[in-house]
Structure 1
């Protein structure tokens, strides 16, 4: 048995290698020729021409947010202020303006700017300051927390601003020289240099589509949303986060790859709504233990647990138990890497997958599609003389599930909101995220099933829900009692 597994591992490794591009081929395809300096004159070359080209396209972003707190008039007394200052903030309503700063990159000459979601999150005012110190009010075109990216626009009339072209971030290699341009600590535009330390960092917990370029170029607070620029002068990524215990740079910075920026920008400028294509699978990253049982000699790939009927993966005859090893010739290390590859593509695009199936590596061509919205979401606020009055519910579907960031295969009726002024809100017998399964012996598959199940002024209501993966049965006796059991 061990011999068979060993031989299968070798065969699979060679097969995967044949389907994936070699590092040498990737370097040859890259538009910049890499070479070790051959003379002292080459070592003394300056980045100044590159900076003068890229820096005008990097902007500073200042945001203002009105924060409401409660404050007692007592605390405005001069004597009280003398001893206690402004450390108390309760009592009467008070409004304060909180400011924050970050950076952004002009990617279209007509004033389209890319920055981070967390830079502008919750802002009431967004001010953009160009490299030449001109100031503009910005509006949000698209804000996507899942990628931590946001698209802004400023009105510059007919003027054409300096902008950065967006590179193919798949061509970035470890060891490439990069520059980080931004506004650290609000001191003004600053350029730092370093190399690419890694190209496919996942599991950082920064965003849902965690797949980052890692660099040792100094990145500090305020650099968020700024440019990571390659030696071609094009945008390789948007600086997003640092790994630090103190808040200062430790030489480990993360940037959202330019290919993800392209997909968000495309949605912002064309559709105005970001709906990503899907493959229609649920899976798990292949760990070392799983790799051994699958006949692989190393961890890597995504083991498919389930396939949605009629999805692109289903039509390509991908089955549970298969392992996706590569997408479009790019090796897939784990599930976040697979999600990233699919998310950066367009609906209708054909892509070749390298799939380990029945012990052999096979090529499968998949035509990506938008996740379906079937059934329609039918968002409804329940009404009537029953305890469920004021509860907002909707039908689940792969597309709506993607918006809600829940399991794409989850079906049924989900609770979206619960009005606090209603019995459901006061007694908390329903919570956002609950899945309604049945009411008074009636199965609930769709929102339309609820009206038939909710008899008004009934003596008791027995209902079933799924909450955080656990099924519960609950009973409500109006105005008397409420209890649940698993």
Structure 2
């Protein structure tokens, strides 16, 4: 009886299982047998191109400034101090954009200060990556992995994006592993947020969280339209306001990073201000958008091209210019020597002017030339391409040699030295005079992003 009962139960179960397998092999359908809309086929194609990135770095630990003073240490007979370091780990995302050469696009804040970079592919492979180059100003970086069996995402023309277009964000939020979210383009050309030096963000409500940085924002054709970068997060999580760097900007910067290992921004040699209704009326203009040129540097690219004070720049290389941020962002992706076409309103007429971008004129010098305590530093003027230009007076740290004395003391590329031994410095000569005051110690006042700190060498 038990045997018969088992056979009677087994037959219906097998029938149900067979029906379930057949249904699983077919596309999902509605009650009338029509296929349900799904992103699954698209994601199956594109997700292998989005990778998880993990990094390791060594951060100098801060302690009492007195312990950094050599005179204090000699007075109390303390041994020479080696700055302590702690190991730091972080997670992020990246996008394979060149399968043949193994190039991965990501954010500078994901890999820029890393000592070791690992890339995990969707198939489970973990590959050691090398930093090709990074641009802290636009928060873009390129790393390279072995080019074997990779899938790359094609890059779209992000200039054709429109508010309301559907987009999908792919990344590694909170270290959970690859995650997909969807939404729309909420706004375009977001700037003035104070997140990066160059801002021209795509805003989206596709959920972006910590760890998504460097991941892909794609359109419904499976093309890369942006690199996920930042969020507005008053409570620490996603609130539906995320930002991505447009693919066109990322592509232009990547080309320079691959070619030179750095961004070689040029300069036009003009100063200007966003046109408003009051200025338009004062200059008898019938336009309300653009950049009014207030000064032209003699002999610079703008001067040679014939630009004049009072001209209003309304376009660059076919792209509309509404304000100074638009102009700065457009120029910020151009390398020195590139030619650009400017659309200019002059005396009520629209004219087109071609200019060849100059290389930045920037004084550079090594810190060790001035003092052994500045060993490892490369210093220079704050260039016109810097977001700090005209806002902060000081000397820019162009580079810090890893492992050097100044590196171990905590100085980093992008810092601005505002004063030395409590004397303001804006030039090499001013720094020499300040160093002569106290040859046995160097007290630096540093501006770093929105913070200020003292470093005693």
**TM-score, normalising length from structure 2?**
0.70
Structure 2 unaligned regions, length at least 5 = 1-31, 64-80, 399-404, 407-416, 438-446, 448-457
Q: What residue number does 2:155 align with? A: 166
Change over 3 Å in CA distance of 1:336–1:170 after alignment to 2: same
Residues 221-248 of structure 1 show CA distances to partners (whole Å, capped at 9, x for unaligned) of 1111000111221111100011121121
Q: 2:282 aligns to what SS in structure 1? A: helix
Q: What residue number does 2:412 align with? A: none
Contact map agreement 1:112 1:154 (CA 8 A) in 2: yes
- Give the total of aligned pairs: 372
| Higher mean C-alpha displacement, 264-273 vs 61-70 | 61-70
- Quick one: which of 112, 120, 133 aligns to 1:142? 133
Residues 72-118 of structure 1 show CA distances to partners (whole Å, capped at 9, x for unaligned) of xxxxxxxxxxxxxxxxxxx9987543322111111111321111111
Change over 3 Å in CA distance of 1:292–1:160 after alignment to 2: farther
Give yes or no for the alignment of 1:46 onto 2:38.
Answer: yes
Residues 136-194 of structure 1 show CA distances to partners (whole Å, capped at 9, x for unaligned) of 122211121100111111234xx141011222211212121111100111111111111
Residues 349-379 of structure 1 show CA distances to partners (whole Å, capped at 9, x for unaligned) of 4332221223333222223343345xx6455
Structure 1 unaligned regions, length at least 5 = 1-39, 72-90, 439-446, 459-467, 469-486
- Quick one: which of 30, 49, 57 aligns to 2:49? 57
Change over 3 Å in CA distance of 1:297–1:311 after alignment to 2: same
* Cα deviation, residue 61, structure 1: 1.0
Q: What residue number does 1:328 align with? A: 317
- Quick one: which of 352, 368, 384 aligns to 2:341? 352
* Cα deviation, residue 409, structure 1: 13
CA distance in 2, matches of 1:41, 1:327: 52
| Higher mean C-alpha displacement, 311-320 vs 279-288 | 279-288
Give yes or no for the alignment of 1:192 onto 2:185.
Answer: no
CA distance in 2, matches of 1:426, 1:313: 33
* Cα deviation, residue 321, structure 1: 2.0
Q: What residue number does 2:145 align with? A: 154
Contact map agreement 1:347 1:369 (CA 8 A) in 2: yes
Q: 1:170 aligns to what SS in structure 2? A: helix
Q: What residue number does 2:13 align with? A: none
Contact map agreement 1:68 1:93 (CA 8 A) in 2: yes
Q: 1:303 aligns to what SS in structure 2? A: strand
CA distance in 1, matches of 2:112, 2:62: 23
Q: What residue number does 1:87 align with? A: none
Q: 1:122 aligns to what SS in structure 2? A: coil
Q: What residue number does 1:223 align with? A: 212
- Quick one: which of 240, 252, 257 aligns to 1:251? 240
Q: What residue number does 1:105 align with? A: 95
Contact map agreement 1:183 1:222 (CA 8 A) in 2: yes
Change over 3 Å in CA distance of 1:101–1:308 after alignment to 2: same
Q: 1:401 aligns to what SS in structure 2? A: coil
CA distance in 1, matches of 2:171, 2:183: 14
CA distance in 1, matches of 2:62, 2:369: 34
Change over 3 Å in CA distance of 1:264–1:425 after alignment to 2: closer
Give yes or no for the alignment of 1:124 onto 2:115.
Answer: yes
CA distance in 1, matches of 2:373, 2:88: 35
Contact map agreement 2:97 2:152 (CA 8 A) in 1: yes
- Map 1:16-415 → 2, pairs under 5 A: 44-67=36-59, 69=61, 96-109=86-99, 110-156=101-147, 159-296=148-285, 299-372=288-361, 377-379=364-366, 401-402=383-384, 407=389
Change over 3 Å in CA distance of 1:129–1:149 after alignment to 2: same
Residues 426-481 of structure 1 show CA distances to partners (whole Å, capped at 9, x for unaligned) of 982434x524788xxxxxxxx9xx8xxx8xx99xxxxxxxxx9xxxxxxxxxxxxx
Change over 3 Å in CA distance of 1:208–1:190 after alignment to 2: same
Q: 2:423 aligns to what SS in structure 1? A: coil
